[in-house]
């Protein structure tokens, strides 16, 4: 029996899927533990500052502007033998003849990647410090000890800048196809962060201690990945040359990078910036409630991603083999599980949060069922649009930067118009309107047309019932 358990553990430890799920689970659990305890341990002003700094740190994924996905892909092509000329002319990638890594391409890509990473980190750091200090000022001045608030803020902003630079290491490790090594260390760091946060909150440590402990693990992650890069750099392609602007490699990197960056800004950035905007005008209790629910719906969103996105390699294989019936079945199954994962975690988050806030926080903040209901509807539509767009992008036709940009502009306009009458509710309501007018119908139309999906049959088997359940929850809970 012991031998069977040992072999099972070893097999799971060698599984990139299992380790990735483990890393994600520990990261989500850390947030699940932290979110409610922060509300009970700290004052509304301290809790608002913590949520605000967590939101700014999360903007690293926007500030990197498509960096990691672009360079990971270029490095992967170079490992497969592609030349720089073939990177520039993507139609030639199918004609790569050598099966071993192209060392010259790897060196040139790494050299430009390090230069791009330095520039992005410098620009991102300036933005983090300007926006972060400005956004945090009104909460820090209301703290009993503002100095502690300022130190905590600067630690968080420095950590965000370091983590942004750390995407250079992440890109190299993933490009070398050593994702399992990356996720194993990520699992370890996330578990350490979970344990540390729990201990600090259990002993009611102050906000500075919580911020310092949290970001000590962020810094550990960056240093660990730097060490891993050095260990994996057998060909001396990462550190052998100084950062250089290679115009040929830049011609291959910039087009996909800016498209991905624009899409990320309008898909994630404008929604997250609503928290920064509201933090400047709402009361401490209102801002804490909004940022708490924004953070919580983000966890719900993340929890719903793997059932579909883990199937993308299988979907691509099915498409490459012209097995379209199989593709439709796999897509249907993945979407259905993803929708139900979203709905289930949305219900649990709503019920548990309301109970916890009413029971423990002594009315320092109020859980807003209207806001939570609209968040559920908006982000469900976002998941629906996102999965259909992923299906379409498997054709290698990238239009998401256009769709996200138009959707983002509609969202900004709608939220501003609605804000005077609806307050914080205008943000998810505006996002729902923007998704319904642009991203959702466009991405759904493209995937339906490309793969001959049948409406409404496909939606009846995927989105209709879980969406109806969320809509019913909203009707019963909204005032």
Query: Who's near 447: CB < 8 A, 6+ residues apart?
Result: 388, 389, 391, 392, 453
In a domain? residue 78: yes
Q: Are residues 431 and 291 in the same domain?
A: yes
Contact of 324 with 60, CB cutoff 8 Å: no
Q: Are residues 311 and 396 in the same domain?
A: yes
- For the chain, the residue count is 479
In a domain? residue 269: no
Q: Are residues 308 and 232 in the same domain?
A: no
| Residue whose structure tokens are 């579909």 | 308
In a domain? residue 266: no
In a domain? residue 270: no
User: What pLDDT score does 372 carry?
Assistant: 93
**Domain with 349 in it:** 282-479
Q: Are residues 287 and 254 in the same domain?
A: no
CA-closest candidate to residue 294, choices 317, 314, 270, 322: 270
* Residue 332 burial (10 A CB sphere; 0-12, 13-18, 19+): middle
For the chain, the domain total comes to 2
Q: Are residues 229 and 291 in the same domain?
A: no
258, 291, 310: which is the final residue of a domain?
258
CA 352 to chain centre: 24
Q: Are residues 240 and 302 in the same domain?
A: no
Q: Which residues of 131-169 are buried (b: 16+ CB within 10 A; e: fewer)?
A: ebeebbebbbebbeeeebbbebbebbbbbbbbbbbbbbb
Give CA–CA dist 307/314, Å, rounded: 12
Q: Are residues 330 and 206 in the same domain?
A: no
Contact of 157 with 133, CB cutoff 8 Å: yes
User: What pLDDT score does 267 carry?
Assistant: 77
Give the pLDDT of the chain (479 residues) as one tens digit per residue.
565 556 665 665 666 656 766 777 777 777 767 777 888 888 888 888 998 998 899 888 888 888 888 888 888 888 878 888 888 876 555 555 566 888 898 999 999 999 999 999 999 999 999 999 999 998 899 898 999 999 999 999 999 999 999 999 999 998 887 877 888 888 888 889 889 998 998 898 899 999 999 999 999 999 999 999 998 888 888 887 788 888 999 998 898 888 888 888 887 778 888 888 888 888 888 888 888 888 889 888 888 887 887 777 677 667 656 788 888 898 999 999 999 999 998 998 888 877 777 666 555 677 889 999 999 999 999 999 989 988 887 766 677 788 888 999 999 999 999 999 999 999 999 999 999 999 999 999 999 998 888 888 999 999 999 999 999 999 988 76
User: What pLDDT score does 388 carry?
Assistant: 92
Q: Are residues 425 and 472 in the same domain?
A: yes
Query: Who's near 74: CB < 8 A, 6+ residues apart?
Result: 87, 109, 175, 249, 252, 253
Per-residue CA distances from 30 to 34, 144, 195, 466 (Å): 6, 27, 8, 27
Q: Are residues 247 and 314 in the same domain?
A: no
Phi, psi values for residue 101, rounded to 5°: -60, 140
Contact of 309 with 369, CB cutoff 8 Å: no
User: What pLDDT score does 18 carry?
Assistant: 66
| Residue whose structure tokens are 């002594």 | 362
Give CA–CA dist 233/229, Å, rounded: 6
In a domain? residue 96: yes
Through-space distance between the first and last CA atoms of the chain, rounded to whole angstroms: 56
Contact of 408 with 434, CB cutoff 8 Å: yes
Rg, C-alpha atoms of the chain: 23
Q: Are residues 288 and 248 in the same domain?
A: no
Q: Are residues 416 and 349 in the same domain?
A: yes
User: What pLDDT score does 149 carry?
Assistant: 93
In a domain? residue 273: no
Give CA–CA dist 319/451, Å, rounded: 10
User: What pLDDT score does 401 carry?
Assistant: 81
In a domain? residue 132: yes
Per-residue CA distances from 306 to 7, 185, 338, 341 (Å): 25, 20, 7, 10
């Amino acid at each position: 029996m012991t031998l069977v358990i040992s072999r099972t553990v070893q097999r799971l430890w060698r599984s990139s899927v299992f380790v990735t799920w483990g890393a994600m689970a520990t990261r989500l659990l850390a947030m699940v533990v932290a979110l409610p305890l922060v509300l009970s341990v700290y004052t509304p002003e301290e809790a608002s500052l913590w949520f605000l700094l967590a939101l700014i740190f999360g903007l690293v994924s926007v500030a990197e502007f498509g960096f990691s996905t672009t360079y990971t892909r270029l490095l992967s092509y170079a490992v497969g033998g592609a030349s720089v000329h073939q990177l520039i002319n993507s139609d030639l990638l199918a004609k790569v003849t050598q099966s071993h890594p192209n060392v010259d391409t790897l060196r040139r890509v790494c050299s430009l990647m390090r230069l791009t990473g330095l520039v992005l980190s410098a620009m991102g750091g300036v933005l983090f410090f300007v926006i972060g200090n400005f956004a945090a000022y009104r909460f820090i001045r209301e703290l009993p000890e503002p100095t502690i608030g300022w130190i905590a803020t600067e630690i968080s902003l420095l950590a965000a800048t370091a983590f942004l630079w750390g995407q250079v290491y992440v890109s190299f490790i993933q490009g070398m196809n050593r994702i399992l090594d990356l996720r194993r260390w990520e699992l370890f760091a996330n578990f350490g962060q979970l344990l540390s946060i729990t201990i600090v909150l259990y002993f009611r440590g102050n906000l500075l201690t919580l911020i310092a402990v949290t970001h000590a693990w962020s810094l550990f992650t960056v240093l660990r990945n730097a060490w891993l890069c050095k260990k994996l750099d057998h060909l001396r392609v990462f550190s052998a040359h100084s950062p250089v602007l290679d115009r040929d490699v830049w011609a291959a990197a910039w087009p996909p990078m800016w498209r991905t960056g624009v899409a990320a800004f309008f898909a994630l950035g404008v929604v997250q910036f609503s928290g920064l905007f509201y933090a400047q005008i709402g009361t401490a209790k209102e801002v804490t409630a909004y940022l708490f629910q924004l953070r919580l719906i983000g966890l719900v969103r993340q929890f719903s991603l793997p059932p579909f996105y883990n199937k993308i390699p299988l979907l691509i294989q099915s498409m490459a083999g012209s097995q379209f019936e199989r593709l439709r079945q796999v897509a249907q199954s993945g979407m259905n599980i993803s929708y139900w994962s979203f709905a289930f975690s949305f219900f649990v988050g709503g019920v548990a949060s309301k109970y916890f806030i009413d029971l423990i926080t002594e009315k320092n903040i109020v859980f807003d069922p209207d806001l939570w209901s609209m968040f559920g509807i908006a982000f469900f539509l976002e998941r629906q649009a996102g999965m259909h767009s992923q299906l379409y992008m498997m054709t290698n036709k990238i239009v998401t930067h256009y769709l996200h940009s138009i959707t983002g502009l509609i969202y900004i306009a709608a939220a501003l118009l609605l804000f005077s009458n609806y307050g914080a509710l205008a943000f998810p309501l505006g996002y729902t309107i923007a998704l319904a007018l642009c991203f959702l119908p466009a991405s759904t139309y493209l995937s339906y047309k490309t793969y001959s999906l049948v409406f409404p049959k496909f939606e009846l088997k995927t989105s209709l019932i879980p969406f109806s359940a969320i809509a019913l929850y909203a009707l019963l809970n909204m005032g």
